[in-house]
Chains A and B, each alone.
Chain A
């Protein structure tokens, strides 16, 4: 599991951030044990607000239809596959530094997301996902009636 609580990571500096990072790195190590191609797990940026979150991921050379975005309650999962083929069929390889294979990132957000209202945009190898908070998850103000 690579669940990352964005909620704990607010603020410019906090010990939780370092802890979360270590936790994530450990998650990745364990996650990678059974998944040899996880070197391509994309780096991500996460922003959160009261009613919206945004996630940006680096996916160079990935076809848009090879990116699978799914929402389950407060967890966003990005997964897919990156193919790196030689430009010509009969080409010989000299150097191979670009990763290929299956990738997966899970991001836990501080609120449940309205999955029907999620919007994703992919350009220049960067995926941007906007995630509106589910209406039912928004805090409700209870009016106090004075008698």
Chain B
């Protein structure tokens, strides 16, 4: 926050920069719901942020791993970093009904489709389909 005071031109507010990492994602769908699942190992609830802005859904998570004291690092394959991934929301998703669950380092989002969208039938006019 202090940085923002010193450098008002800088947006968004400065936080300590960590490398950015795009988490792997699974997407599945039933007739009623779209499911998104992300691997976010090391991210706690309080370090997770899910935002919907216009038609973009963005998942942001930070993991900060503490090192044990008094021991030498011998091998490092994990890191501390910021996870970020955005997807474009399908138009028929009910934005107010999106739910999220974080457990064991996996985030699961359920994006229900609007009821009227589910049963919508697209009428096909066979005569107009001629190119």
A122 to B105, CA, bound (A): 10
Cβ of A32 under 8 Å from chain B: no
A63 to B106, CA, bound (A): 11
A: contact size bracket: 35 or more
Are A95 and B26 in touch, CB under 8 angstroms?
yes
Give 1 or 0 for each of A42-68: 1 = CB within 8 Å of chain B CB: 011111110011101011111100000
A96 to B25, CA, bound (A): 7
Are B71 and A47 in touch, CB under 8 angstroms?
yes
Which residues of A lie under 8 Å from residue B120 when comparing CB positions?
none
Stretch in A2-10, A69-77, A112-120, A138-146 touching the partner: A2-10
Are A98 and B37 in touch, CB under 8 angstroms?
yes
We find that the number of chain B residues with CB closer than 8 angstroms to chain A is 33
A95 to B120, CA, bound (A): 24
Which residues of A lie under 8 Å from residue B65 when comparing CB positions?
45, 56, 126
Cβ of A92 under 8 Å from chain B: yes
Interface residues of B (CB under 8 A from A): 24-30, 33, 35, 37, 39-44, 65, 67-68, 70-78, 104-106, 108, 110
Extra 14 A-B pairs, beta carbons < 8 Å, given A43-B77, A91-B29, A92-B28: A6-B74, A45-B75, A45-B78, A46-B73, A49-B71, A58-B42, A60-B104, A61-B104, A87-B37, A88-B33, A92-B29, A98-B25, A126-B41, A130-B68
Q: Which 6 A-B pairs give the minimum distances between C-beta atoms?
A: A125-B105, A60-B105, A125-B41, A43-B77, A47-B71, A97-B24
